[in-house]
Structure formats: structure tokens, C-alpha cells
Chains A and B, each alone.
Chain A
């Protein structure tokens, strides 16, 4: 520790307890007296710093000066403290709790995250044409979140599509009927219900119903070629069953209309459908698509 002599009282005082004024050192008491007497004419005074005493903890280093930190002398311990200042315990606890809350958030919403991933996979599978896998993923997602009605609806819809695509229209009707009852404004469900009902009616040889369901479908999608051909198919079935010529004329007219509306991407499917309808009109035989393809294959084989 360093000492200096006060220019007024002549006492030897620690350097840290003095100020430098007009090139002389003064203790705080004498400086205060001067201030009371208005004898401080120049405000240019500086607090003296003893670089042998730690500015933080006051540790005395004898005659040796400490290293400086931000211009002030600090001992080794204090230097280490400032350089590696610890976070207060409450801050550590606070930050830890933030991380724990974040982790809890992920855990709490994990079912949503998984359901989201499953629905994305279902959508991808649907785009690839793998409706069975899409239905499975959608069902799994719906199982995780039973309270989300939109997810339950989507899962049911995928399952219905799976049944429809795999020629199980009866099972599709059950699911789609429930969907339409719960969501009367949703046109997509109505449309596919009619598809399924038409398919079921055809399988059950209820051709009047088959025709009627296709006509109802046409009201929902009047400019769709495949729907028009569906009605033509129904009319052809009724012609095949009853022999009434007005059904034949209706079928022929609808085929002509349908051809005008065929989109390029559905051309092959539409032309195959038209072939079957024309076969039905020509022979008055009602056969399924599978049976028709088999017959055609046999005919081509025998040529």
C-alpha cells in the first residue's frame, strides 16, 4: 500500500484516500473543509488510485503494483472472477427452466408432431397412388389425436378411398355416409359417396339406382367427362336390362358429349370406359371391367 502526505494537514494517509488537486494531494477531510470555505477554485481534481491495492477487494500487494483491468488494479483472484464471472444461481435456474419448459413443450405436443409427420407421409403416398399406405398413415395420425375432428374426417376419407380403389364400394359407402352426415356442406364427401353408392348399386345389379346415383353425381360435376360417361354407363345398363331404345339414345348422346370434355391425362381411361359402354350397347351384356378386360385379352390372343 502506498501513502502520501496531505498538503493541508500534513498527515500521512493511504493514497487511495486522497485526491489530486492543483498538483498536490489532499485527504478527503481537508478537501471537504476547503469546499465549505469555497476555496476550491478549479474543479479539475482527480481521485488518486493506489495500484498496489485491489480496487475490488482491497487486497494489499505491498510495493508491487497489480495488473490493470479496465484501468483499475485488481488482484489475481478478482481478475479471475471478472474474467470468468459466474452466472448467479437464479439466472442458471431460470435458463435451465426455459430449456426444461421448451423440452416439455416438445413432449406435450409430441403427438401433434408425429401426427403431422404421418399426415405428410399419407399425402405423399396418396400422390404416388399408394392409397392403402396413405390410409394406414392417416389412421395412425387420427388415433394419436382423437379429439381433432378434421383429422378423424381425413383418416376416414382415406380409408373410404382405399375401399373404393380396391372395389369394396359397400364399405366405402358406410364410411362416406357417416362423413356426409357429420359434414353436410363438404361437397367432396358427397361426390365420393355417390361414387361409392353407384359402385355398390352396380355390384348388386340395381341398375336403376346405378343410373340415378350417376345422374346425381352429374349435378355436382356437370363438366366432368368421366361423370358424363358414368351416366352413359347407367343408361347403357338400363338399355341392356330393359331393351328400351331411349336409354340407348341417351347413352350414345352422353358418350358424344363426354368425348368433347375428355382431358388429355384421362384420355386412355375414358376411351377404355367408352369401349365397355359400347360393348354393352352392342351386346346388351353387363359385365365388369375385369371381365371385359379378360374377354378382350382372349379375343386378342385368338387373333
Chain B
């Protein structure tokens, strides 16, 4: 089922805001100038953006591009974890826990950087290859994953990812390891 992206973004707006905030956070951390930022807007094409200057080093480029993947994923796990436990282990689900799961999954759904971030990372990684930076080696498969994830978003891959790390992963850990 194809649902307009704007509707999905509205329904999961915390994820959009955290995604852009993650980009900006790493820009500030790496002293990269942020020229313009929109944390959320009602636009069919772009619900949020961060425009920044070109980072001087590859590590900054990597962190800024991949920042949402790190922060959104971590927040999703941390918020969902205590909410999933009552349901997975004790078969008990309160309204507040459901709200937490919605919040966590919304944030997790927007973990993947955009194709623009991916192409920028690819360009920088190719230029940095001669310096044998470890992050560069990590970047190439990561860029491919980002492209594939964005393509598969029409098949709800972003939702599947959010649900997987927010609900399935904690459930699996509770049952088998914790």
C-alpha cells in the first residue's frame, strides 16, 4: 500500500525532528557551519533538512552523514526497551507502553540517512581512499545499505527496521540472553 510520505512523516514526526537534530548535532560537534536548518515542515518532498558547509575532514563527513543512523537507532532501542519487556515477558501492555513503542519506532524509522547524504559520503570516501582511513572502508558498504534501505522504503523497510530494533530485538534478547 502506497501512503504519501508526508502522511507517514506527520504520523512519525518525532523521528524526523531527531533525524535533523542528529545531523546538526554532529555539525556542531565537528565545528561545521550550519547555514540553514528545518527540523520539520509540511512539504511533500522534504520534511526536514540541514544545509551545512563542506567538512574539512572525512571523519566529520562520516559522522554528519551517519549521525541519524547512530542516534535514532540508539534512542529507538532505549525508549522501546522498558516498554517491550512487560509485553514480551509478562503479556501486559499499558497505554503508556504503547505510546513509548510508537515514539521509539517513529524515531527508529527515520534512522537511515537520505540518498543525498549517501552520495556525499560516497564521494568523500572515494577521495579519502588513498589515506587508508578505516572509516572509509566502512563507508562503502554503509552507502550501499543506505541506498537499498531508501529504495525498499516503498515496501515499508523503514517501518520494519524501526519495529525490528525497537520490538523484535529486545524481545529476542529477553527470551534468549537476558
Contacts and interface: CB of A to CB of B under 8 A. Distances in A.
Nearest to A79: B33
Contacts of A106: 82
6 contacts: A84-B31, A85-B34, A91-B17, A98-B107, A105-B97, A106-B82
Contact of B100 (A84, A87, A101, A145): A101
Contacts of A145: 90, 92
A91 B39 CA distance: 8
B83 interface: yes
Contacts of B17: 91, 94-95
B82 A109 contact: yes
B28 A113 contact: no
Kindly name the residue among B82, B85, B174 whose own CB sees the greatest number of chain A CB atoms within 10 A.
B82
A279 B174 CA distance: 50
Interface in A159-210: none
Contacts of A3: none
Interface residues of B, number: 35
A85 B21 contact: no
- The A interface, classified by DSSP as helix, strand, loop or mixed, is helix
A105 B18 contact: no
B35 interface: yes
Given A98-B75, A148-B92, A105 B83 contact: yes
Given A105-B79, A109-B86, A112-B85, A95 B21 contact: yes
- The B interface, classified by DSSP as helix, strand, loop or mixed, is helix
A87 B24 contact: yes
B178 interface: yes
A51 to B, nearest CB: 17
Interface string A80-93: 00111101100100
A101 B54 CA distance: 35
Given A70-B35, A70-B53, A87-B21, A102 B79 contact: yes
A91 B18 CA distance: 9
B129 interface: no
Contact of B103 (A79, A85, A101, A116): A101
A231 interface: no
Interface string B56-98: 0000000000000000000100110011011001111010110
